[in-house]
Structure 1
Amino acid sequence: MKLLTLNCHSWQEENQMEKIQHIARAIKEQAYDVIALQEVSQSIDAQVVKGNIKQNNFGLVLQQELEKLGVSDYELVWDFAHMGYDTFEEGLAILTRHSIKKTHSFFVSKSTDTDFWKTRKIVGVTVEVQGEEMSFYTCHLGWWSDEEEPAKYQMKQLLEKVKGTEPYFLLGDFNNSAHIKGEGYEFLTSTAGLHDTYLLASEKDSGVTVEGKIAGWDENKQDLRIDLILASSPPSVTSSKVVFNGQNRKVVSDHYGVEVTLEI
Structure 2
Amino acid sequence: MKLLTLNCHSWLEDNQWEKLGILADTIAEKEYDVIALQEVNQLISEEEAFIKKDNFALILLQELKKRGVTGYSFIWDYAHVGYDRFEEGAAILTRHPVQEEHSFHVSNDEDPANWKTRKIIGITIPIRNEKVTFYSCHLGWWQDEEEPFMSQADRLFEKAAGPFFLMGDFNNDADTRGEGYDYLMKKGLLDTFHLAQKRDEGTTIQGDIAGWDENDKGLRIDLILSSRMINVQSSAAIFNGTNRPIISDHYGVEVELDW
Give the TM-score normalised by the residue count of structure 1.
Answer: 0.97
Summarize the alignment of residues 226-237 of structure 1 with structure 2, pairs less than 5 Å apart. Answer: 226-237=221-232
Summarize the alignment of residues 89-104 of structure 1 with structure 2, pairs less than 5 Å apart. Answer: 89-104=87-102
In 2, are the aligned partners of 1:48 and 1:55 still within 8 Å (CA)?
no
Q: Which amino acid aligns with 1:185?
A: Y
Give the 3-state SS of the residue equivalent to 1:199 in structure 2: helix
Give the match for residue 71 of structure 2.
Answer: 73
Deviation digits for residues 105-146 of structure 1, max 9, x if unmatched? 000000000000000000000011232211000000000000
CA distance in 2, matches of 1:8, 1:219: 21
Deviation digits for residues 223-254 of structure 1, max 9, x if unmatched? 10000000000110000010000000000000
Give the match for residue 182 of structure 2.
Answer: 186
2:155 to 145, 154, 157: 157
1:171 to 167, 172, 196: 167
Shift of 1:216: 0.2
Q: How many residues align?
A: 259
CA distance in 1, matches of 2:63, 2:75: 16
Deviation digits for residues 73-112 of structure 1, max 9, x if unmatched? 1101000100000000000000000000000000000000
Summarize the alignment of residues 14-163 of structure 1 with structure 2, pairs less than 5 Å apart. Answer: 14-48=14-48, 52-162=50-160
CA distance in 1, matches of 2:235, 2:166: 15
CA distance in 2, matches of 1:130, 1:43: 39
User: Is residue 2:2 matched to residue 1:2?
Assistant: yes
Give the match for residue 239 of structure 1.
Answer: 234
CA distance in 1, matches of 2:126, 2:65: 23
Give the 3-state SS of the residue equivalent to 1:91 in structure 2: strand
**5+ residue gaps, structure 1:** none
Q: Which amino acid aligns with 1:213?
A: D
Give the 3-state SS of the residue equivalent to 1:18 in structure 2: helix
User: Is residue 2:254 matched to residue 1:256?
Assistant: no
Q: Which amino acid aligns with 1:59?
A: A
**5+ residue gaps, structure 2:** none
In 2, are the aligned partners of 1:110 and 1:149 still within 8 Å (CA)?
yes
Q: Which amino acid aligns with 1:235?
A: I
Give the 3-state SS of the residue equivalent to 1:202 in structure 2: strand
Q: Which amino acid aligns with 2:171?
A: N
2:198 to 203, 208, 223: 203
In 2, are the aligned partners of 1:2 and 1:259 still within 8 Å (CA)?
yes
RMSD: 0.7
